[in-house]
Structure 1
Amino acid sequence: MDFPIIHTNVWDAVTAVPIIIFMTQLIKIFLKVPKKYVPTVALALGLIISVCISHRHSLIAGIFMGGFYGYAAIGSYASLKTTVTSFRNNSRT
């Protein structure tokens, strides 16, 4: 079995990840999604963007890269939240 050749560029990730973070926050606010399901929403959005927009030519490539987009959004949001929380706690003391 041959592995698919995945053609991607940095702009896919640079645009997809912030869009996923933004859309996840909108869904969290307007649809009142419980916090424990927010990472699943981000992963689903990553898969949808990748399969339907970025990698329409290959379902396998779309699923593979969609996982990266979703998990990159989850990690970026968690890192930003931790940094802001730490900064706020340190500035109070």
Structure 2
Amino acid sequence: MDFPLIHTNFWDAIIAVPVVMTVTQLLKVFFKVPKIYIPTIALAVGLIISVFISHRHNLVAGLFMGWFYGYAAIGSYASLKTTIITYRKKKN
């Protein structure tokens, strides 16, 4: 089996991950989702966006990049949250 050719473009690098983060946060706020499920929701949103929008003609590429979108959003959120908490502690 050959690996799919996946090009990372502007969409992948700059837009998709913030979109996943935003949609996940909106779902969290409007549907009162417990915190334990948020990473799973981010992963699902990343997979849905990737498979059905950005890589709709290549399922393997869509799944691969969907995992990237979801986990990049999870990591970015965790990093941002840790940075803000640390900043607030140092400020006090």
Q: Is TM more than 0.5 here? A: yes
1:5 counterpart letter in structure 2: L
Deviation at 1:83, TM superposition (A): 0.2
Residue 54 (structure 1) aligns with? 54
Overall identity of the aligned pairs, in %: 68
Give the alignment's TM-score, normalised by structure 1.
Answer: 0.94
Unaligned runs of 5+ in 2: none
Amino acid at match of 1:80: L
Secondary structure of the residue that 2:5 maps to in structure 1?
coil
The 2-side partners of 1:11 and 1:62 are apart by 13
Count of aligned positions: 92
Aligned-partner Cα distance in 1 for 2:2–2:18? 32
**In the TM superposition, what is the alpha-carbon distance from 1:11 to its structure 2 partner?**
2.5
Q: Which runs of structure 1 show a deviation greater than 6 angstroms over 4 or more consecutive aligned residues?
A: none
Q: Root-mean-square deviation (CA), in Å?
A: 0.9
TM-score by length of 2: 0.95
Partner secondary structure for residue 46 of structure 2: helix
